[in-house]
Amino acid sequence: MLCRFGVNAPHGLRDYPVDELRMSWYQNYVTRLNPERPNGMDFIQTIRLSQTGADSYGVVPSTAVISQIAGSNPGAAWFVGNEPDRKFYQDDVEPHVYAKAYHDLYMVIKAADPTARVFAGSIVQPTPLRLMYLDKILNAYSDKYHKAMPVDGWSIHNFVLNEASCVAFPASDCWGADIPPGIDATEGLRVDVQDNDNLELFIEQVERFRHWMWINGYRDTPLYLSEYGVLMPENAGFNPDFTTERVSQFMRSTFDYMLTATHNEQGYPPDGNRLVQRFSWFSTDYTAFNGTLFDADSRGFTGLGLAYKEYTNAIQETVDFLPVRLMTPVVPLYDGKPITFTLTAQIANSGNGLAPQSVQVRFYDGDPNAGGVQIGETQSVQVAGCGKTAYASVDWPDLSVGTYKVYVVVSSAPESLVETGEALNNNVLQQDVLIIADPVYLPIVGR
């Protein structure tokens, strides 16, 4: 199964042949104690919000149920809210209220399951107007709790929709995403219906959001594009029409882009600096909009479903192991006695498989290709693709004063998939480790 590909399933997976799509995850906008997981597929828990007063919120399900679900599903991913920036039709929560809800729910989930991964956002589309909405959330969180908002990952939807206030404009001109609650504006992105599958705007929005993550200190968190597609129905009088072939081409083009788009400064380091880690097509069978992959009556594929299947079945499963960072204790002070401390490396897999694969990790004192000596025993960890990480550690005894050049080297374990091509070029990480005898204290100079 391919870890990047997913689907939105408003009615659940029913008995659709989802295994033939090779997708690995889905959401259906609710929480489940025992979610359906065909072939080990990931289910994303989604908490729904509502604003009940100027500074208060409601949550579905209750926090007691959320705690129970989190405790019973260790390591699950959670989306806090679904389109909280969408008035009337979705969660419709002002930024300061979202900040409060996120804080409370984050604490509830982590108390029940410290390994849970809590995702913020799930905005309709990352336009400048909606990034203002997120800025207000971050500012409200910082003002209230005196720290940055803790986020294990960000979730966005990425439609291309008009932004105009239905209060300020007539109904014929305010189609689309309206204005986020708590934003003092009457319009934002202005597009035509025909832009709903505009690939350039789609790409622009992804890159805008990754830049926003970077400038706000969230580069080292994954990005899930958790809902997108073409909403304009086929045979609805649009000219040109949003035909199956037209929407299929948009699907293929977005797949091509998200599988390959990287940025050396703003991408996610454990995933080879990719911009997007996982993405989800809308939808399985929601026929009010375009994009359905299955026929609800026959339970078979639609033309779009066949296009999805053809695309994913042409992809070869890969692994790409890399050491992301080396962690050591605070610089140790040598007092005449040999020092022992622990080296820990964060290991990632930017391949495309859902199943964890074995990787061997070796630590060296000096370049292993120039006489470096291995530190401790070879370690083995299991790491799934899409930028998932694991940690390997060794104890390093009998050290004295000096600067040491430590190397971390990773390689496929015999039973795992074999790395090929460019994946072999990122298997080594080097870092200097310093041990000193006399500390140096520098004065603090102010003005």
What domains sit in the chain, N to C, each tagged with a CATH number? 2-313 (3.20.20.80), 321-435 (2.60.40.10)
- Sign of the dihedral through C-alpha 75, 280, 211, 78: negative
Residue 441's contacts (CB-CB under 8 Å, 6 or more residues apart) are none
- 205-262 residue pLDDT tens: 999 999 999 999 999 999 999 999 999 999 999 999 999 999 999 999 999 999 999 9
| Strand ordering across the sheet containing 339-349 | 321-327, 339-349, 388-399
For 343-366, the three-class secondary structure string (H helix, E strand, C coil) is EEEEEEECCCECCCEEEEEEEEEC
Q: Are strands 23-27 and 2-8 parallel, antiparallel or unpaired?
A: parallel
337: Cβ–Cβ under 8 A, 6 or more apart, which residues?
none
Backbone torsions φ then ψ of 185, nearest 5 degrees: -155, 160
Whether the pLDDT of residue 145 is over 80: the answer is yes
Residue given tokens 């291309």 in the structure block: 160
The length of the chain is 447
pLDDT at 435 (0 to 100): 79
Neighbouring CB atoms inside 10 A of 14's CB total 13
Mean of pLDDT values over 335-364: 93
Phi, psi of 78 (to 5 degrees): -130, 130
- Residue whose C-alpha is closest to residue 159's, from 227, 84, 251, 247: 227
Q: Are 408 and 361 in contact (CB under 8 A)?
A: yes
Q: pLDDT band for position 401 (50/70/90)? A: confident
DSSP 134-171: HHHHHHHHHHHHSSPPP-SEEEEE------B-TTTS-G
Query: What confidence tier does 2 reach under pLDDT thresholds 50, 70, 90?
Result: very high
Farthest CA pair distance, the chain: 83
Task: Report the percent of the chain where pLDDT is more than 70.
Answer: 96
pLDDT at residue 394, rounded to an integer: 97
CA 116, 7, 350 angle in degrees (round to 5)?
Answer: 60
Assess whether pLDDT exceeds 70 at residue 334.
Answer: no
- Whether the link from the prior residue into 114 is cis, omega within 30° of 0, is no
Neighbours of 341 (CB within 10 A): 14
Whether 284 and 7 have beta carbons less than 8 Å apart is answered as: yes
Predicted pLDDT at 423? 72
- pLDDT value of position 447: 56
Asked whether the predicted pLDDT for residue 148 surpasses 80, the reply is yes
The average pLDDT across 74-98 equals 97
d(CA 155, CA 226): 6
Give CA–CA dist 31/80, Å, rounded: 11
Question: CA 72 to CA 137: how far, in whole Å?
Answer: 30
Rounded to 5°, angle at Cα 362 from 360 and 365: 175
Report how far residue 60's alpha carbon sits from residue 245's, in angstroms, rounded to the nearest whole number.
Answer: 38
CB 302 within 8 A of CB 247: no
**Which parts of 74-210 are beta strand (E)?**
77-80, 117-123, 153-157
- Mean pLDDT, the chain, as a whole number? 94
Q: Which pLDDT band, with edges at 50, 70 and 90, does 319 fall under?
A: very high
Name the pLDDT band for 142 (thresholds 50, 70, 90). Answer: very high
Supply the DSSP symbol for 20. Answer: G
CB 344 within 8 A of CB 324: no
pLDDT band, very low/low/confident/very high, at 47 (cuts 50, 70, 90): very high
As a whole number of angstroms, the distance between CA 279 and CA 223 comes to 9
174 φ/ψ angles, rounded to the nearest 5 degrees: -110, 20
Amino acid letter for position 309: K
Calpha distance 321→60 (Å, rounded): 39
- What pLDDT shows up at residue 352? 97
Mean pLDDT of 400-411: 92
